[in-house]
């Protein structure tokens, strides 16, 4: 990560989380060079049945963007530092639904096909045919708690279903309660937890399937 990108990330964390949480994240990053441990939950949405109607969010336009949407891509990369310079290439092997407030992108859901990389697990995997992976969903701070995240999800579900996809997978840290609740709200079903550990340069991953009780 470049110095400019790192500064941008610190500023965004300060805006979103405040000084205390930003400091905690910075200290965690420093300690992570020696020892790191996290648990990542993977979930799945079945797209084979049902219809996914686009949810109306007043004043917001949802649409699939392409490699030629330079202004939208720039907005997206400014919202998520890890995507700097990478969105256009990702669109060649996936899709992105963006939410526009006028000309400004205020939210997006980036989806990958075929091969995926999960940064939080430092892991690359191949998807089976008709499977997709939700790489990133982000809503601008001033548009949160408005239902926009759910609207983005449903628009993506509908687009994938139309293209013949059967499942959409995704994941987040087990500590990210807000993201887990958001995913559950739109019908994602938890599949497994992956415990990731790194000691200096050695990595370990432990998988635990989540069993669901049939009523």
Residue 98 belongs to domain with CATH number: 3.40.630.30
The pLDDT value given to residue 144: 92
66 and 5 within one domain: no
198 and 108 within one domain: yes
The string of DSSP letters for 73-113 reads: HHHHHHH-GGGTTTHHHHHTTEEEEEEEETTEEEEEEEEEE
- Which range marks the domain in which residue 112 is found? 32-209
92 and 159 within one domain: yes
182 and 161 within one domain: yes
- Cβ-contact 62, 182 below 8 angstroms: no
- Cβ-contact 20, 100 below 8 angstroms: no
**What CA–CA distance (Å, rounded) separates 74 from 111?**
17
104 and 86 within one domain: yes
Secondary structure letter of residue 32 according to DSSP: T
Give me 155's structure tokens. 């628009």
Tell me the whole-structure pTM to 2 decimals: 0.84
Rounded (5°) CA angle 23-28-34: 145
In b/e form, how buried is each residue of 133-144, taking b as 16+ CB within 10 angstroms?
Answer: bbbbbbbbeebe
Give Cβ neighbours of residue 165 (< 8 Å, ≥ 6 apart): 47, 130, 131, 132
Do the domain assignments include residue 100? yes
Do the domain assignments include residue 215? no
- Cβ-contact 81, 180 below 8 angstroms: no
Q: How many helices (H) and strands (E) does the chain have?
A: 5, 10
**What CA–CA distance (Å, rounded) separates 1 from 81?**
9
Do the domain assignments include residue 118? yes
- Cβ-contact 167, 132 below 8 angstroms: yes
| pLDDT in 10s for each residue of the chain, 215 residues | 555 555 566 565 556 556 665 565 565 666 666 888 999 999 999 999 888 876 667 899 999 999 999 999 999 999 998 899 999 999 999 999 999 999 999 999 999 999 999 999 999 999 999 999 999 999 999 999 899 999 999 999 999 999 999 999 999 999 999 999 999 999 999 999 999 999 988 999 999 999 875 55
192 and 103 within one domain: yes
């Amino acid at each position: 990560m470049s110095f400019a990108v790192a500064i941008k990330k610190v500023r965004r964390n300060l805006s979103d989380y405040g000084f205390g949480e930003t400091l905690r994240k910075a200290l965690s990053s420093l300690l992570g060079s020696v020892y790191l441990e996290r648990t990542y939950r993977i979930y799945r949405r079945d797209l084979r049945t049902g219809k996914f109607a686009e949810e109306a969010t007043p004043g917001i336009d949802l649409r699939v963007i392409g490699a030629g949407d330079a202004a939208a891509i720039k907005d997206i990369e400014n919202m998520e530092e890890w995507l700097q310079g990478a969105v256009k290439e990702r669109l060649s092997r996936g899709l992105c639904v963006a939410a526009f407030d006028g000309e400004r992108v205020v939210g997006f859901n980036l989806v990958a096909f075929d091969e995926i990389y999960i940064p939080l697990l430092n892991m690359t995997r191949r998807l089976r045919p008709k499977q997709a992976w939700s790489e990133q969903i982000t809503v601008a701070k001033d548009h949160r708690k408005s239902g926009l995240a759910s609207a983005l999800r449903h628009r993506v579900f509908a687009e994938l279903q139309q293209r013949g996809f059967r499942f959409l997978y995704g994941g987040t840290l087990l500590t990210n309660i807000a993201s887990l609740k958001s995913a559950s709200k739109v019908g994602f079903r938890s599949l497994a937890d992956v415990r990731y550990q790194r000691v200096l340069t050695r990595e370990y991953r432990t998988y635990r399937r989540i069993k669901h009780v049939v009523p």
